[in-house]
Amino acid sequence: MRDTPLSNCERDFLLKAIGEKKRLDGRQTYDYRNIKIKFGTDYGCCFVDLGKTRVMAQVSCELVAPKDNRPNEGIMFFNIELSPMASPAFELGRQSELTVKLNRQLERCLRNSKCIDTESLCVVSGEKVWQIRVDVHMLNHDGNLMDAASIAAITALCHFRRPDIGIQGDEVTVYSPEERDPIPLSIYHMPICVSFSFFQEGTYLLVDPCEREERVMDGLLMIAMNKHREICSIQSSGGIMLLREQVLRCSKIASVKVSEITELITKALENDKKVRKEGGRCGFAESMPRERITALKMDETPVEMTDVTERASDIVQKVKAPPATVPSPVLPAPGMGQVGEGLQNAWGLEDEEDEEEEQEDVATMEEKRYKKGGTGDVVVISDSEEEEVVILNPETKDS
Amino acid sequence: MEVCSASSNVTLREFGCEQSLLSRPDGSSSFMQGDTSVLAGVYGPAEVKVSKEIYDRATLEVVIQPKVGLPSVKERALEQCIRETCEASLLSSLHPRSSLTLILQVLHDDGSLLSCFLNAACMALMDAGLPMSCLFCGVTCAIDTEGQIITDPTAAQEKESRALMTFAIDSTEHRVMMSSTKGSVSVHELQECIAVSQKASEKIFQFYRDSVRRRYSKTL
């Protein structure tokens, strides 16, 4: 499936509007879209809505052997899935450039910045460590996938709880969540990616581009920062040439945005913690908006089962026995077997071919009968003088 | 022949559905049965690759994305079941040489996953406006160790059950379109579960009607 190409008049309109400092959805140059963060039922599942861009992240853990060069550190594994649901341009299974770019940027943002304490993930040095796996699924692509993915990933990591471990000598026991409360990961800081798109060779700048704006942009600058104003990674793509002042200005804007977003994340995490403590239900099902006209909820309903048993007994008694089939293979004589003769030909071939085939079948069957009855002589099957078909019997050798 | 008693308190969990929640796909829906939630997106009719085109019908492709890890054989088997059901109900000869893509994403699995997929798929196809000859719904039945039938089991109930069956029922004649079973059942138990599923499907179709009626209440 291919994405619809951008028409020239759309492109011209967008560029002209940007030149006049206007955006399609009425935002200002430095404004972010509405960010909504919701959590799933189990720990480590998080949904992020950045305007219409929707992203889901799930964190899971597993005990594995550590890497050889780092025997007492845990392993972090990131995987961004561009689901075909997000955009008709995303195809399943193909590692497109965008997949690689997003994966690489997320790894640099979260792994290289050492935001998670990997040494605390070690269970038995050199033998067993925790592997934390973060899967990010794109559900709807309306621009700025990287920011949404980084917010979802770090929020899911903060939300995640790993099972508790008990070590007695050489034995390691993993406790289930019912036996002992699971433990959160130790996170030092929360790096968040902020994207800046550039137009008209660096003259105009927009923060958080939507999908249309991304299509007409010249280049993209991604800055990953945390709320302590430390830059974790910078990446510029698209081949635009930026001045030093521009990059510094972008980093100042990024620090403001990152502190706002971090506050939003901490508030969402606290809300969720409160709801879980009070024992309330949480999850995607609960967070579904009810006042919308496109959403409906139905309570638990009983199913009538009054005459079910009678109906079932009726059906079972009325059913006919299956038609008797000829058991195959049929053995007319010892040492010889026939399969399929006497039944209707179900191959649906035309009549002429049918007859020919039947004749051939009969002919070969007779030959085979003759052959089997013989004492292992060489038997000529076809009449043609060009071929010589030789049949080897398993008991005698043919030399 | 074992006769399993159909107890009078067989229930379907709380249902929830939201349509048109994603802006890019032509049709989208999220379906929730208790805590099990699934998101479905439909694209189509759209351009099809020459290698996959069929001259007189639309090519339907179903993709299931699990929450963790890459799709494996289990997902392929579920995709097959769902594709057969959808192809039986879609009027695909109205769109020859086109592709219809249905993508299903697991949001949370708490039992009855295949029936949740089927329900979400039907609502998404409705939302996309694709022509169908009938609607379909999925119902899961489990038979526990004592021989009781449970509809719409949770994950805990599924684990302790002796047999697990999922049926796709159509809306016009309430007949079985697809069945997927696990575990051993007697013929009588199977027929009982089919009868229970047909009864339960009436509730689900009523839910579809209510959702669509609510959705178009302001325009019609």
User: Which ipTM did the prediction report?
Assistant: 0.90
Nearest CA in chain B to A299: B14
**What integer best gives the mean pLDDT of chain A?**
83
Looking at chain A, the whole-number percentage of residues with pLDDT higher than 90 is 48
Q: How far is Cα A241 from Cα A246, in angstroms, rounded to an integer? A: 10
Is pLDDT above 80 for A276? yes
pLDDT score for A241:
85
User: Are the beta carbons of A303 and B188 separated by less than 8 Å?
Assistant: no
| A150-169 pLDDT per residue, tens | 999 999 999 999 999 888 88
Nearest CA in chain B to A297: B16
* Nearest CB neighbour to B12, from listed A45, A301, A315: A301
pLDDT score for A341:
62
Q: Name chain A contacts of B105, Cβ cutoff 8 Å.
A: 56, 83, 85, 137, 139
Nearest CA in chain A to B70: A81
Q: How far is Cα A54 from Cα B185, in angstroms, rounded to an integer? A: 43
Residue to mutate among A53, A303, A308, with most B CBs inside 10 A, is A303
pLDDT score for A172:
85
| A182-211 pLDDT per residue, tens | 999 999 999 999 999 999 888 899 999 999
Residue to mutate among B1, B22, B24, B49, with most A CBs inside 10 A, is B24
Among the listed ranges A62-66, A92-96, A180-184, A258-262, which one has the minimum average pLDDT value?
A92-96
Q: Name chain A contacts of B47, Cβ cutoff 8 Å.
A: 1-2
Cis peptide before B45 (omega within 30 of 0): yes
Q: Name chain A contacts of B191, Cβ cutoff 8 Å.
A: 311-313, 315-316
From the list A58, A158, A85, the residue with the least C-alpha distance to B108 is A58
pLDDT score for A386:
63
Q: How far is Cα A16 from Cα A9, in angstroms, rounded to an integer? A: 10
**Contact at 8 Å (CB) between A82 and A93?**
no
Q: Name chain A contacts of B6, Cβ cutoff 8 Å.
A: 305, 308-309
Instruction: Please report the number of interchain residue pairs, chain A to chain B, with beta-carbon separation below 8 angstroms.
Output: 166
User: Are the beta carbons of B32 and A285 separated by less than 8 Å?
Assistant: yes
User: Are the beta carbons of B37 and A304 separated by less than 8 Å?
Assistant: no
User: Are the beta carbons of B23 and A52 separated by less than 8 Å?
Assistant: yes
Residue B133 C-alpha, separation from nearest chain A C-alpha, in angstroms? 23
Q: Name chain A contacts of B103, Cβ cutoff 8 Å.
A: 83-85
pLDDT score for A397:
47
Q: How far is Cα B82 from Cα B77, in angstroms, rounded to an integer? A: 9
User: Are the beta carbons of B6 and A40 separated by less than 8 Å?
Assistant: no
User: Are the beta carbons of A316 and B188 separated by less than 8 Å?
Assistant: yes
Q: Give exposure, A114-139, as e/b (b: 16+ Cβ within 10 Å).
A: ebbebeebbbbeeebbbbbbbbbbbb
pLDDT score for B4:
47
User: Are the beta carbons of A294 and B110 separated by less than 8 Å?
Assistant: no
Instruction: Give the mean model confidence (pLDDT) for residues A237-251.
Output: 89
pLDDT band at A340 (very low <50, low <70, confident <90, very high): low
* Nearest CB neighbour to A54, from listed B3, B22, B43: B22
pLDDT band at A317 (very low <50, low <70, confident <90, very high): confident
Nearest CA in chain A to B45: A1
Residue B27 C-alpha, separation from nearest chain A C-alpha, in angstroms? 10
Which 3 state secondary structure label does DSSP give B163? Answer: strand
**CA separation, residue B107 to residues A46, A219, A319, B65, B152 (Å):** 10, 34, 42, 10, 17
**CA separation, residue A71 to residues A130, A185, A357, A379 (Å):** 12, 19, 71, 72
* Nearest CB neighbour to A85, from listed B37, B46, B103: B103
Instruction: Give the mean model confidence (pLDDT) for residues A271-296.
Output: 80
Q: How many helices (H) and strands (E) does chain B have?
A: 4, 10
Mark the ranges of chain B whose per-residue pLDDT is less than 70: 1-9
Q: Name chain B contacts of A99, Cβ cutoff 8 Å.
A: none
User: Are the beta carbons of A85 and B107 separated by less than 8 Å?
Assistant: no
* Nearest CB neighbour to B17, from listed A289, A296, A308: A296
pLDDT score for A59:
95
Is pLDDT above 90 for A351? no
| A50-91 pLDDT per residue, tens | 999 999 999 999 999 999 998 889 999 999 999 999 999 888
User: Are the beta carbons of B67 and A83 separated by less than 8 Å?
Assistant: no
**Contact at 8 Å (CB) between A227 and A259?**
yes
Residue A253 C-alpha, separation from nearest chain B C-alpha, in angstroms? 29
Among the listed ranges A243-247, A295-299, B108-112, B146-150, which one has the minimum average pLDDT value?
A295-299
Nearest CA in chain B to A43: B108
Residue to mutate among A43, A46, A139, with most B CBs inside 10 A, is A139
Nearest CA in chain A to B200: A303
pLDDT score for B103:
96
Q: How far is Cα A106 from Cα A170, in angstroms, rounded to an integer? A: 37
The H or E element spanning position A196 is: strand A192-199
pLDDT score for A301:
77
pLDDT score for A375:
46
From the list A300, A397, A375, A3, the residue with the least C-alpha distance to B14 is A300
Name the DSSP class of A180: S
Residue B149: beta bridge partners? B143
Q: How far is Cα A234 from Cα A195, in angstroms, rounded to an integer? A: 10
Residue B60: beta bridge partners? B100
| A368-397 pLDDT per residue, tens | 454 444 444 555 555 556 666 677 776 654
Q: Name chain A contacts of B194, Cβ cutoff 8 Å.
A: 312
User: Are the beta carbons of A140 and B22 separated by less than 8 Å?
Assistant: yes
